[in-house]
Amino acid sequence: MIILCLIFFAVAIAMKSQIHEAEYHFRPLENLFRFEEVAVVTSEQQCNDLARMLIVENFSVSVLAYAMQLCLFFTAPQRGGFGGSSTAVFVDAQAPNEDSSCHVIDPFEDYKISYIHDDPNKQFVGKCVYEKLYGTPFNSVALPGEIITMMRFVNDSDGEELAKLSHLLKVHNYTTYAISKSIAECNRIESPRLVISEELNWMFDPSDSFRPLDEGERYTIEIGEMGDGIAAGKSGFSDGSFIADTLPPLCIDNLTAKIVEYAEHMYKIEKATGWRINGGRKFGNYRLCMPAPYREALAKADEETTHNEGDGEVTGRILTITEILTKLCANVKKMKGSMKQHPSFKNYSNSGRLELNAEERKNEGPWQANMFVIISRKEKKAIAYSGTLGRFFGSKIQSGSFYFLNNILAEVKDENNKTDPFVRLLPAILYTKNEISLALATHGGSTRHSLSLPRTIYMLVLKQKFNVSISESAGYPLAFPSTENFDLNNIIVMKDRVPYVERLHRLYVVKDTKLNLPDELVAIESVDGSLLAAHANHLGEDYNLPAGF
């Protein structure tokens, strides 16, 4: 009897151990695609289709990036919008000088201003612009950060290539259907080119071609319009002296003369500072090209973290990543100019409180941003881009009767005076000399509503420390500190989209949390002489098919 009890006890322990290990099994992605020379992944299927055509035509990485940026503006206006603060990182792995291998394009990191200001001496955008846009869906298009990013791509492009691109785009259109009333309104009302309308009466005129569509109505996305003016704009882009007729109509129709003047000023500053050229940041055996301050904060957190081999393979990974995330957040707070409330909020907020509900989405779908990544093994170059967060996730945040672009924020506070850290857009590239290892882009956003920060750090750390492929790191489980209490004793582990709290003494408790947290990414990884590409959206939406050769 005693022997039977011992056997039963041993079997129970073994079963418990197996169950414990099963909690941490990775769920691999099913939509991975492998390419040999070049790969492109965007957040919109139409743009992936366009990329296939451009890859066959042998366009350079810079021209591909320019075309993808414009395509995303046109095909997914509901995801973002022209005029916000996009962020991109560009890597030339075979740059003659390693110190100039990483370029960070982040127009508003150093110039944190609001486009609405009550001091005329400090206005960058005229009062007439605000009055023209106030009360319309276009409050958030006034800061032309996207133009700065766009011009960076064009500045590296050949004039003949741009002329060829212009010709191809002019004949490239899509015919599609509005799948719902809300999406139909987004594709018309939210399209930034409609800002040129002086009045909103056209919205109620059935004969107007720009009126909101009805559900199921057929319409054409005229991507060909993107080609107009591309070649002509090359000379204006190169020295910063661009004017209205040198920009594609898609761009300039949204902007008044004051906004163009401001963009020109910003462009010259960015170009004069070398687009923040650097050698990346040492990150294990890699270099990390990523916007500040996360590049420095992540590398510092990694250096301060030691991996405990005794915790087991997957458990050790989760604890290591969580410790790095905790230290990362602490490091970011210490760094100058980061994690501070925008000074303009003191003038416009209600008792210092920001109202985040102005742009929160209800139950219509996920919060989104336009994103793309490109790697060319032939050119040994890569670009990762995250565009302005869409209106469904707050391209503008309301404070009283005023709006601010959320992409320039570092933190906000809720009605209970709790700090809600705000993550800037997070494109990132891991590379070594002569090789791009990983290009990744996610959306940013409030840590209360977005998983972009833990997802980005999760994938970078798994690649750098454990050589885990995106086939696993882009899936689940996903571990990160609680947004309310960054503590190693409060770790959230995602298993099949169900969150668990895993404490150091390994007790599991189901934790209530929102299941609609946005967690979307586009990624390309170099593996065994080829490129693995994937688009992952963990809110259950269809995955896009990457393009490549």
pLDDT higher than threshold 70 for residue 58 = yes
Residues with Cβ within 8 Å of 175's Cβ and at least 6 positions away in sequence, in order, are 218, 219, 220, 221
Please give the average per-residue pLDDT across 324-351, as a whole number: 52
Position with higher pLDDT, 437 vs 263: 437
For residue 348, pLDDT over 60 is answered with no
Residue 464, pLDDT above cutoff 60: yes
- Report pLDDT for 162: 81
Max avg pLDDT among 45-54, 281-290, 405-414: 281-290
Residue among 419, 414, 425, 417 nearest 356 (CA): 414
Mean pLDDT, residues 319-348 taken together: 58
E-assigned strand segments in 290-391: 369-376, 381-389
Give the span between the Cα atoms of 399 and 348, in whole angstroms.
6
In the predicted structure, residue 549 carries a pLDDT above the cut 70: yes
Confidence band (pLDDT; 50, 70, 90) for 453? confident
State yes or no: pLDDT of 490 exceeds 60.
no
Confidence of residue 272 (pLDDT cuts 50, 70, 90): low
**What are the pLDDT digits (tens) for 146-167?**
666 777 787 777 778 887 887 7
> What is the reported pLDDT for 385?
94
- The yes-or-no verdict on residue 50 having pLDDT over 60 is yes
- Amino acid 381: pLDDT: 95
210-222 tens-digit pLDDT: 444 444 444 444 5
Cut 0.75: pTM above it: no
| 8-state DSSP, 501 | E
- Please answer whether residues 71 and 226 qualify as being in contact, where contact means their C-beta atoms are separated by less than 8 angstroms: yes
pLDDT value at 291 more than 80: yes
Average confidence (pLDDT) over 275-302: 86
97 or 81, higher pLDDT: 97
* CA distances for 504 relative to 22, 57, 312, 315, angstroms: 17, 55, 13, 10
Task: Determine the pLDDT at residue 218.
Answer: 47
Structural contact between residues 359 and 81, judged by C-beta atoms closer than 8 angstroms: no
Which among 433, 161, 471, 465 has a CA at the least distance from the CA of 303?
465
Per cent of the chain over pLDDT 70 is: 41
Lowest mean pLDDT among 278-282, 500-504, 532-536: 500-504
Query: Is the pLDDT higher at 4 or at 486?
Result: 486
Distance of CA 200 to the CA centre of its chain: 31
**Rounded distance, CA 501 to CA 377, Å?**
41
More confident residue, 525 or 394: 525
Confidence (pLDDT) at 163: 79
Secondary structure of 267-301 as H, E, C letters: HHHHHHCCCCEECCEEECCEEEECCCCHHHHHHHH
Task: Look up residue 25 and give its two tokens.
Answer: 């099994």
State the DSSP code for 407.
G
HEC letters along 111-156:
CCCCCCCCCHHHCCCCHHHHHHHCCCCCHHHCCCHHHHHHHHHHHC
- 377-434 confidence digits (pLDDT tens): 999 999 999 886 654 333 444 444 334 444 444 455 555 555 555 566 789 999 998 8
* pLDDT higher than threshold 90 for residue 42: yes
Q: What confidence score (pLDDT) does residue 274 get?
A: 54
The confidence score (pLDDT) of residue 242 equals 41
pLDDT at 440 over 90: yes
Q: Is the pLDDT of residue 521 over 70?
A: yes
Answer whether 530's CB lies under 8 Å from 510's CB.
no
When comparing pLDDT for 169 and 142, which is higher? 169
* 138 or 48, higher pLDDT: 48
Average pLDDT, the chain: 63
Query: Is the distance from CB of 150 to CB of 246 less than 8 angstroms?
Result: no
Q: Where are the alpha helices (DSSP H) in 363-514?
A: 452-466, 470-473
pLDDT tops 80 at residue 87: yes
Candidate from 21-35, 172-186, 353-367, 501-515 with smallest mean pLDDT: 353-367
Supply the pLDDT for residue 156: 76
Give the residue extent of every domain in the chain: 25-114+275-548
Task: State yes or no: pLDDT of 546 exceeds 80.
Answer: yes
Q: CA 420, CA 400: separation in Å to the nearest integer?
A: 18
* Mean pLDDT confidence for 479-503: 51
- Three-state secondary structure call for residue 162: helix
- Please give the structure tokens belonging to residue 173: 């259109």
